[in-house]
């Protein structure tokens, strides 16, 4: 029997809530195919699913939600699909930013937005500026994001700062690398969810997920099917994991 939202919500709330949740929102195209619709209809439904996931994250008191929206590799898709994705982003921000702002959500972007169409760049910049001082949920949207490009950019900045003596070679630590990534200042994700049954990372947050708990949905759960209940179930799965970080389980029952 499908568990109700209230039941699952109470269960999630009874245990520690992840501070940072990352999501690879995958399967919009397959959802559309299954429903005999064009791929873009799947993306549109994906945005609707996203709205619920953001509000549930807010309600739960999750601090950071990092969403893979468009990868550096997604430019390989047909021009029409890329354009449609960019238009959907603009539409989403125009419609939702005021409400998100009212709910104290802070919008932040990972990736290189320089390559995005101007309308998208403008909306993204506006959303970030408007919500900069908000203290509620921080939504990081990964746009034209690729982890390898991010690491490359970080290495170049580190080298530059060492060359110009802003940073001492001997002071470079693992934390320095974290700081120079687009996620600098944000704690690593506690859990990473990927929908639609693909068991890969697709160039997302490679450095940051060293000890992140990975949760993959069944292959019949495409992103537009990822309801609030499915989200809570994924968090319950995370809450049942024992995180050892290479050490020993500190639980008392063994
Ligand atoms: C995820 O859905 C959305 C983006 C990558 C922008 P897909 O478009 O990858 O859907 P599938 O994987 O083809 O089903
Ligand atoms: C990852 O999904 C990127 C986003 C969800 C934005 P893809 O659908 O692009 O990944 P692959 O191609 O299946 O690895
Ligand atoms: Mg995909």
CATH number at 99 reads: 3.40.1180.10
Give distance in angstroms: CA of 62 to centre of ligand 2: 24
| Number of domains, the chain | 1
Distance CA 68, CA 83 (A): 17
Q: Does residue 250 sit within a domain? A: no
Cβ < 6 Å from ligand 2: which residues? Answer: 24-26, 68-71, 74, 198, 200, 202
The whole-model pTM stands at 0.97
- pLDDT, residue 2, reads 73
Structural domain includes residue 246: no
Q: Which helix (H) or strand (E) holds 138?
A: strand 138-145
Catalytic: which of 52, 74, 134, 188?
A: 74
Give the rounded distance of the alpha carbon of 177 from its chain centre: 20
Q: Which alpha helices (DSSP H) does 17-170 contain, by range?
A: 28-34, 39-60, 79-102, 118-131, 147-163
Is residue 33 in some structural domain? Answer: yes
The reply to whether 244 falls in a domain is: no
| 150 Cα to the center of ligand 3, angstroms | 21
Q: What's the confidence (pLDDT) of residue 3?
A: 84
Largest interatomic CA distance in the chain? 63
CA atoms within 13 A on the CB side of 14: 8
The pLDDT value recorded for residue 201 is: 98
Do the domain assignments include residue 163?
Answer: yes
Instruction: Tell me the best of 23, 24, 29 to mutate to test the pocket of ligand 1, counting ligand atoms within 8 Å of each CB and taking the most.
Output: 29
Residue 254 confidence (pLDDT):
47
Euclidean distance between CA atoms 245 and 110, whole angstroms: 26
Instruction: Please report the pLDDT score of residue 1 as a whole number.
Output: 63
The answer to the question of residue 145 being in a domain is yes
Q: 210-219 burial, b if ≥16 CB within 10 A, otherwise e?
A: eebbbbbbee
Query: What is the 69 CA–ligand 2 centroid distance (Å)?
Result: 9
Sequential DSSP letters for 106-123: EEEEES-GGGS-HHHHHH
pLDDT, position 249:
84
φ/ψ bin of 165: left (φ > 0), alpha (ψ from -120 to 50), beta (otherwise)? left
Let me know if residue 169 belongs to a domain. Answer: yes
Per-residue model confidence (pLDDT) at position 251: 67
- Distance in angstroms (rounded) separating the CA atoms of residues 146 and 99: 29
Report how far apart the first and last C-alpha atoms of the chain are (Å, whole number). Answer: 33
Which ligand lies nearest to the CA atom of residue 42 in the structure?
1
* Residue 253 within a domain: no
Query: Which residues form the domain of 74?
Result: 5-237
In terms of C-beta density within 10 A (0-12 exposed, 13-18 middle, 19 or more buried), how is residue 198 classed? middle
What is the pLDDT tens value at each position of the chain, 254 positions in all?
678 999 999 999 999 999 999 999 999 999 999 999 999 999 999 999 999 999 999 999 999 999 999 999 999 999 999 999 999 999 999 999 999 999 999 999 999 999 999 999 999 999 999 999 999 999 999 999 999 999 999 999 999 999 999 999 999 999 999 999 999 999 999 999 999 999 999 999 999 999 999 999 999 999 999 999 999 999 999 999 999 999 998 765 54
């Amino acid at each position: 029997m499908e568990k109700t939202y209230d039941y699952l919500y109470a269960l999630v709330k009874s245990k520690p809530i992840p501070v940072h949740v990352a999501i690879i929102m995958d399967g919009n195209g397959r959802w559309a195919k299954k429903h005999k619709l064009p791929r873009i209809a799947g993306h549109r439904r994906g945005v609707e699913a996203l709205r619920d996931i953001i509000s549930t994250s807010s309600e739960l008191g999750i601090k950071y939600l990092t969403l893979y929206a468009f990868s550096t590799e997604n430019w390989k898709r047909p021009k029409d699909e890329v354009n449609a994705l960019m238009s959907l982003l603009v539409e989403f921000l125009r419609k939702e930013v005021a409400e998100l702002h009212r709910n104290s959500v802070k919008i932040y972007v990972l990736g290189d937005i320089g390559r995005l169409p101007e309308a998208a760049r403008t909306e993204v910049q506006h959303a970030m500026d408007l919500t900069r001082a908000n203290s509620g949920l921080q939504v990081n949207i990964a746009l034209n994001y690729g982890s390898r490009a991010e690491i490359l950019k970080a290495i170049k900045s580190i080298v530059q700062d060492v060359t110009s003596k802003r940073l001492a070679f001997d002071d470079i630590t693992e934390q320095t690398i974290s700081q120079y990534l687009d996620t600098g200042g944000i704690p690593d994700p506690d859990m990473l969810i990927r929908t639609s049954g693909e068991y890969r990372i697709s160039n997302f947050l490679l450095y940051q997920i060293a000890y992140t708990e990975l949760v993959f949905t069944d292959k019949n759960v495409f992103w537009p099917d990822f309801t609030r209940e499915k989200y809570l179930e994924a968090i319950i799965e995370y809450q049942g994991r024992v995180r050892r970080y290479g050490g020993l389980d500190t639980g008392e029952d063994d």
